[in-house]
Structure 1
Amino acid sequence: MKSVYDVMQLLKRFGIFVYTKDRIADLEIMEEEIKELYSMQMIEAQDFQLAILLLRQEKGKLSKSL
């Protein structure tokens, strides 16, 4: 995983599609969904950590640009 797009593809594998027209809200929802998948042991720890890192980095970039 190298980008938020890759995180979206990971979620798509589980039938999870996130799009609300609010990018920050999308990132927060994706983070919650990733946490839920991890707590249900459906994704590995490495994928969980990387996905959370990518989502938080992207959220930080967007927050700074506002």
Structure 2
Amino acid sequence: MNNLYDVMQLLKRYGTIIYTADKKADLHLMEEEIRELYRLQFITAKEFSSALLILRSEQNKI
């Protein structure tokens, strides 16, 4: 994963599409969903850490 689009595609693969028109809220919801996918062992530790890094990076840009 290299960017936010890749994180969104990962979530989409599991049926999750997040868009609330509030980017900060979107990033928070995406992080919660990524954590849940990892907790349920749907994604690997590498995917989890990459996604969190990307989401945190995007949050810092706001």
Q: TM class by shorter-chain length?
A: over 0.9
Q: Does residue 28 of structure 2 align to residue 28 of structure 1?
A: yes
TM-score (norm 1): 0.93
Larger radius of gyration: 1
SS in 2 for 1:18: coil
Unpaired segments of 5 or more residues in structure 2?
Answer: none
How many residues are treated as equivalent by the alignment? Answer: 62
**Structure 2: distance between partners of 1:54 and 1:24:** 13
Identity of aligned residues (%): 56
TM-score (norm 2): 0.99
Match of 1:49 in 2: 49
Unpaired segments of 5 or more residues in structure 1?
Answer: none
Q: Which runs of 4+ in 1 moved over 6 A?
A: none
CA RMSD of aligned residues (A): 0.3
Shift of 1:17: 0.3
